């Protein structure tokens, strides 16, 4: 069990709270997964990367985590009431389950590309129809739903009489939910109130996906599946429920209402939400013409960017913003992230090569030794503050700056104890790879490793030339490297390099 004090921002209370799992040492986490009728968009990827880091960090702290992320393969309706998967099946002239399988496989591949760990359980909505029918019946029996023309609707007004806090998660006011005009009532003849939402929909003759229930042959509502699957695998009340900000209302708000109506308790103790993606300060949307897919970003085929970016550079770009902050995509920001990612990987490799000074002592630590220890402490402290990845990354950069300076003789290596060097290496590895989930793509192949070794030799030779005031040779090395696409950056803590492909 973790002894660290982890602070998390709870969307339900709109405040940071000390994280206290319901069952000590164990964490149940449910994250809303994709609706598999199309490829995931970039905002989905950002959200799943964020929760992957949260999952990794909870495990790093020593918690036993059960991470459940669903697959929505039925019930996610368009504004006109048609199921998204059924509509895509008609467009592509495939069976609905072929659509589901096609885009589930592509979703898993995208998660692998971005190095997201798989969840512990990945339930599908279509595999839990019986349980969804049972929950609908519970809600009916408790007086919070009604049957209308073969469909079952959640009765918001009946619910508000006993639970007036509906809207608390999203901040919606009751007046907004209840104030309707006659004009707004058009097209919702089966409902008592426009705010009522479907628990079970009677299928029209052309609807492909359908199941037999006591009320009609039909299909479940979108909100119902998450209420059912989260509580089946994590219990009536579990620790963390996550998703994007766009799911607060109506999806998560209605999940809370369903669970309280069926079981009498709220489903989750902590609600965590990721923020949206922007492009040049504006929300991504088809109407704005500023959307970009993960595939376009990876292949460089979008008109909004100048070239392709690697998955790890994109992941690093996401993590440079807090999960609750917006992320503004631009070519300049992505290029800066790619350089930063490479710089971090180079710094970690330098730390691996750093060896204790033969005269270093394990006795009283020096001020430099203390500073390195404090930076290692700071990396953990920043992550404990609501998973603050940008500040954690800044701390890792400071550690690599000190490491580079030690390696190049600009800081006295003899002032650093061997155990401190070991801790610096371990901190960089643990936080970059195990917690932030980065891979070192810059050293993934034999050729790139060879290039790294050659560059180390050239940089050592250039450093020696500069020490001997042979600036002509130093400049010549820089110039010749630039001619083949390798740029050198001289800084107070040493020289780093990037390529035109990074």
Structure confidence by residue, pLDDT tens digits, 53-106: 999 999 999 999 999 999 999 877 765 667 888 888 889 999 989 999 999 999
**Distances in whole angstroms, Cα of residue 471 to Cα of each of 409, 464, 489:** 19, 10, 16
CA atoms within a 13 Å half-sphere pointing along the CA-CB vector of 106? 16
Any idea where the domains of the chain sit in the sequence?
7-274, 279-442, 446-499
Q: Identify the pLDDT of residue 56.
A: 98
Class of domain 279-442: mainly alpha
Tell me how far apart the alpha carbons of residues 410 and 402 are, in angstroms, rounded to a whole number: 9
In 313-383 the beta strands, taken as DSSP E runs, fall at 327-329
pLDDT tens column, 390-415: 999 999 999 999 999 999 999 999 99
Q: Residue 204's closest CA among 191, 219, 192?
A: 219
Burial, 108: exposed, middle or buried (Cβ in 10 Å; 0-12, 13-18, 19+)? middle
Distance CA 339, CA 313 (A): 8
**Residue 120 burial class via C-beta count within 10 angstroms: exposed 0-12, middle 13-18, buried 19 and up:** middle
Query: Is residue 228 exposed (0-12), middle (13-18) or buried (19+ Cβ within 10 Å)?
Result: buried
Give the three-state DSSP class for 309. coil
Q: What is the mean pLDDT of residues 173-193?
A: 61
The CATH class of the 7-274 domain is: alpha beta
What local confidence, expressed as pLDDT, does residue 174 receive?
Answer: 66
Residue 359's pLDDT is what?
Answer: 85
Given a contact cutoff of 8 angstroms between Cβ atoms, the answer to whether 351 and 425 are in contact is yes
Condensed to tens digits (0 to 9), the pLDDT of residues 452-464 reads 778 888 888 888 8
Mean model confidence pLDDT for the chain: 90
Stretch 289-307: mean pLDDT: 87
423 or 195, greater pLDDT = 423
Tell me the pLDDT band of 501, cut-offs 50, 70 and 90. Answer: low
**What is the pLDDT averaged over residues 263-268?**
96
Residues 6+ apart with CB under 8 A from 271: 10, 11, 12, 169, 240, 241, 242, 252
Higher pLDDT, 133 or 38: 133
> Is the full-model pTM beyond 0.85?
yes
Q: Do domains 7-274 and 279-442 have the same CATH topology?
A: no
Q: Which residues contact 181 (CB under 8 A, 6 or more apart)?
A: none
pLDDT bin (cut points 50, 70, 90) of residue 293 is confident
């Amino acid at each position: 069990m973790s002894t660290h004090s982890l602070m998390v921002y709870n969307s339900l209370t709109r405040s940071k709270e000390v994280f206290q799992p319901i069952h000590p040492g164990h964490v149940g986490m449910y994250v809303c997964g994709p609706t598999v009728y199309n490829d995931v968009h970039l905002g989905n990827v950002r959200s799943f990367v964020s929760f992957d880091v949260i999952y990794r960090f909870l495990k790093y702290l020593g918690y036993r985590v059960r991470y459940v992320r669903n697959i929505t393969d039925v019930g996610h309706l368009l504004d006109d009431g048609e199921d998204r998967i059924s509509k895509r099946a008609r467009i592509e002239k495939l069976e609905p389950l072929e659509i589901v399988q096609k885009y589930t496989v592509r979703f898993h591949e995208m998660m692998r590309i971005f190095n997201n760990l798989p969840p512990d359980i990945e339930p599908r909505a279509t595999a839990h129809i019986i349980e969804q029918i049972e929950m609908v019946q519970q809600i009916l029996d408790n007086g919070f739903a009604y049957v209308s023309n073969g469909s079952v609707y959640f009765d918001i007004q009946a619910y508000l009489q006993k639970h007036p806090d509906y809207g608390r998660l999203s901040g919606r006011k009751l007046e907004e939910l209840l104030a309707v005009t006659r004009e707004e009532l058009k097209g919702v003849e089966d409902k008592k109130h426009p705010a009522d939402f479907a628990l079970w929909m009677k299928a029209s003759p052309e609807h492909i996906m359908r199941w037999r229930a006591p009320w009609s042959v039909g299909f479940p509502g979108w909100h119902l599946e998450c209420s059912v699957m989260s509580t089946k695998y994590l219990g009536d009340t579990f620790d963390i429920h996550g998703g994007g900000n766009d799911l607060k209302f109506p999806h998560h708000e209605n999940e809370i209402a369903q669970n309280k109506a069926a079981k009498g308790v709220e489903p989750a103790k902590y609600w965590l939400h990721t923020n949206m993606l922007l492009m040049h300060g504006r929300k991504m949307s088809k109407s704005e013409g500023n959307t970009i897919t993960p595939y376009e970003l990876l292949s460089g085929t979008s008109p909004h960017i100048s070239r392709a970016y690697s998955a790890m550079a994109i992941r690093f770009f996401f993590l440079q913003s807090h999960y609750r902050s917006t992320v503004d995509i631009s070519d300049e920001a992505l290029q800066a992230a790619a350089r930063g990612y490479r710089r971090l990987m180079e710094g970690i490799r330098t730390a691996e090569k750093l060896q204790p000074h033969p005269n270093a002592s394990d006795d009283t630590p020096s001020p430099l030794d203390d500073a390195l220890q404090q930076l290692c402490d700071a990396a953990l402290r920043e992550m404990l503050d609501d998973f603050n990845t940008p500040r954690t990354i800044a701390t890792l950069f400071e550690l690599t700056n000190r490491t580079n300076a030690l390696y190049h003789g600009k800081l006295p290596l003899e002032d650093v104890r061997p155990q401190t060097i070991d801790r610096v290496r371990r901190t960089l590895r643990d936080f970059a790879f195990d917690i932030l989930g980065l891979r070192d793509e810059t050293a993934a192949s034999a050729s790139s490793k060879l290039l790294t070794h050659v560059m180390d030799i050239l940089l050592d030779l250039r450093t020696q030339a500069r020490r001997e005031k042979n600036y002509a040779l130093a400049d010549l090395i820089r110039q010749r490297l630039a001619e083949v696409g390798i740029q050198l950056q001289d800084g107070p803590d040493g020289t780093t390099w990037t390529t035109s492909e990074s």
